[in-house]
Amino acid sequence: MGTADPPPPRLKARIVARPTLLKYMQEHPDAADALKGWERTVTDLSFNSFAELRAQVPGVDYVNRTYLVWNINGNAYRLVTLVRWTRPVLYLHRFMTHAEYNTWSDLTRKTKKKKK
């Protein structure tokens, strides 16, 4: 019996627009350490689907099958990213307080419903 080739190595996640992440840290110094921790965590992960990601980070949400929403700094902030599953690559979209996120989320869900 022949042996199958081993699967290719899994790629670790990468963050696009790191300067944007640094800007978020400067604008919200109380969340800077939490954002650094988030960056260290996600860039050490390998995933190709939301199920794989959620198994590693139970607190992440997938909104409208478009956005990944991360709780930052004990739920005080939300970091919203887009994702390319095949690489995986995270694109920073928004960083906001929990209250700002609630307003944005309501509007996003309403817009999604209108498009159907």
pLDDT at 106: 84
* Across 91-100, average pLDDT: 95
Angle at the Cα of 66 (from 65 to 68), degrees rounded to 5? Answer: 95
For the cut 90, the answer to whether the pLDDT of residue 97 exceeds it is yes
- Judged on CB neighbours under 10 Å (0-12, 13-18, 19+), 83 is buried
If one counts every other C-beta atom within 10 angstroms of the C-beta of residue 98, the result is 14
pLDDT at 112: 64
Closest CA to 69 of 48, 85, 90, 46: 90
Residue type, 112: K
Segment 26-73, tens digit of pLDDT: 999 999 999 999 999 999 999 999 999 999 999 999 998 899 999 999
* Across 73-92, average pLDDT: 94
Global pTM exceeds 0.95: no
For the cut 70, the answer to whether the pLDDT of residue 25 exceeds it is yes
Mean pLDDT score of the chain, rounded to an integer? 90
